[in-house]
Amino acid sequence: MKRLLLALLVACAAPASAQTLRIGMKAAVDGSDPHQSYSPNRNVQMHVYESLVNQDQYLQPLPGLAESWRVIDDTTWEFRLREGVTFHDGTPLTAADIAFSLRRAADARGLRTYSPQLRSFAAVEEVDARTVRIRTRGPAPLLHVNLTTIMIVSAAAVGATATEEDFNGGRAAVGTGPYRWVRFTPGSDVTLERAPRHWREPEPWQRVVFRFIPNDSARVSALLAGDVDVVDAVPPALYGRVRSDQRSRLHTATSAFNLYMYIDSGRERSPFVAGIDGQPLDRNPLQDRRVRLALSHAINRAALAERAMEGGAEAAGQIAPQGFMGHVPGLAIPAFDPARARALLAEAGYPNGFGLTIHCTSDRFAGDSRTCQAVGQMLTAIGIRTEVEAIPSSIFFRRANRAPAAGGPEFSVSMSMFASTTGAASEGMNNILRTYNPALSHGPANRGRYSDTVLDGLLGQIEGAMDDAQREALTRQAVRRVMEEAAIVPAFFVRSGWGTARNLTLIPRGDQYTMATGIRVAR
């Protein structure tokens, strides 16, 4: 009897290291090369690979593989690596691996790379085994912030010939993270195991399995049935189900993801704009600031957040939410004012409005299609006869990001989410609003081809402002300029929802990632 009691006590005291953490993900991973940008991939990759600089839950920079850094002059940064860091194959991390990874990421090609974050990168020098110096093309005050997106790989494992298959199969997927890559089953799951050694304390989870469950109800049902321990992207309609069940716990937080109305202000004629008679217009009304402001005042952001999104959003009137870099305190959300919107249309020469088709995703997040329909009704109410086309994300982004050789972005007005990977408002504006210039990595996601020399000038100054206070003041000035010109029309910040087993705690992140490193057994 004593032996049995002792065995039970030992079993109860067994560390969590013997456990497997099962995470149900809405979006599927499609690759493991960390220098190809895609949010679901990055979510998993951040367990396997690490950056010189890490991020906290608000995406603020923290020491990572670099224990410290300093600015030597306006174009030279020095990073000091942690001592004793090894890759999963046991080889030590050195400055050569940092240099290799930076060059590889800078040279990456395709639609999904981190080139905007490395647009200032010029060269890297290996000072010694634990020290690298990065030289930039000009002052780059946010270099350390941008480096949070660049994962460090093993130069020996990757080399010059590693393919996507080499990463997916594990041969090249060698990082320094707390977990190592074990198995990837496309369309099904990814399995990770705790690394044999890591510079931080060992993680409690021996194994982490990411299962891809795109259907919201099925994902939540899997949690309540005990088939998974954590689920992401819980839609607001299912908050009550997770919250009320004794087996589960709900976690929510405002994310950095902003639903914008992207406006085609770059073309003289826009393909989905027509006169009230249905005939093409000689000029694009969306180029007129007054028309763009009318669109903004026509939208009832609070109603969208509370009704269309069922409480799963927070009305937005700027680029970044509170707590994130570049948030402007006190900046008012544009008023819902249909009368003002109609007056602006009349002032711009469209007293009877015009015809418009808006495009949006139908499966990007819970409520996207419903929100788009509601916006269409709001625009119609001020005289803009609006049709709505909600389409699958795979089709939407292909059309929205159409290459310049094929005529550029297709839509006149579209609605989709965007968040800077770094969480910085200035980086978000560089991506979606700076005058499109692929050679400089300016405006890679500028789907409306918006161009404003004043905003471009401010963003250029921000890039060169090494003084933190000056850079923050310039960023706030740029955000105000965007809102004054209605360059885009922010609608709301999406709230993130996670469900966990009742005995688990979770740290919500602004990038909506589900990190095993932030999940623990409740004490």
Per-residue pLDDT of the chain (523 residues; tens, 9 = 90+): 334 333 333 333 333 335 999 999 998 998 889 998 778 899 999 999 999 999 999 888 999 999 999 999 999 999 999 999 999 999 999 999 999 999 999 998 776 788 888 989 999 999 999 999 999 999 999 999 999 999 999 999 999 999 989 999 999 999 999 999 999 999 999 999 999 999 999 999 999 999 999 999 999 999 999 999 999 999 999 999 999 999 999 999 999 899 999 999 999 999 999 999 999 898 999 999 999 999 999 999 999 999 999 999 999 999 999 888 899 999 999 999 999 999 999 999 999 999 999 999 998 888 899 999 999 999 999 999 999 999 998 899 889 988 777 778 899 999 998 887 777 899 899 999 999 998 888 998 899 999 999 999 999 999 889 898 999 999 999 999 999 999 999 999 999 999 999 999 999 999 999 999 999 999 8
- Kindly state the tokens that stand for 247: 């087996």
- Looking only at the bridges linking them, the beta strands covering 189-194 and 313-315 are unpaired
**H/E segment holding residue 267:** none
Cα separation, 508 vs 319, whole angstroms: 20
**What separation in angstroms does the CA of 323 have from each of 62, 326, 509?**
15, 9, 12
User: Shortest CA distance to 483 belongs to which of 285, 290, 334, 336?
Assistant: 334
The SS3 call for residue 238 is: helix
What's the chain's length in residues?
523
The SS3 call for residue 31 is: coil
- Kindly state the tokens that stand for 120: 């200032």
**What separation in angstroms does the CA of 171 have from each of 88, 154, 184, 261, 500?**
11, 11, 12, 42, 33
Residue 499, beta-bridge partner list: 231, 250
- Residue 201: CB atoms within 10 A of its CB come to 7
Cα separation, 224 vs 510, whole angstroms: 25
pTM over 0.75: yes
Task: Give the start-end residues of each E strand in 355-440.
Answer: 355-361, 385-391, 413-418
Cα separation, 264 vs 413, whole angstroms: 6
Spatial CB neighbours of 515, under 8 Å, sequence gap ≥ 6:
43, 46, 47, 507, 509
Question: Is the Cα torsion angle 51, 98, 42, 465 positive or negative in sign?
Answer: positive
**What separation in angstroms does the CA of 226 have from each of 24, 163, 229, 437?**
11, 37, 7, 50
Q: How big is the CA angle at 144 (ends 417 and 509), to the nearest 5 degrees?
A: 40
The distance of Cα 488 from the centroid of its chain, to the nearest Å, equals: 18
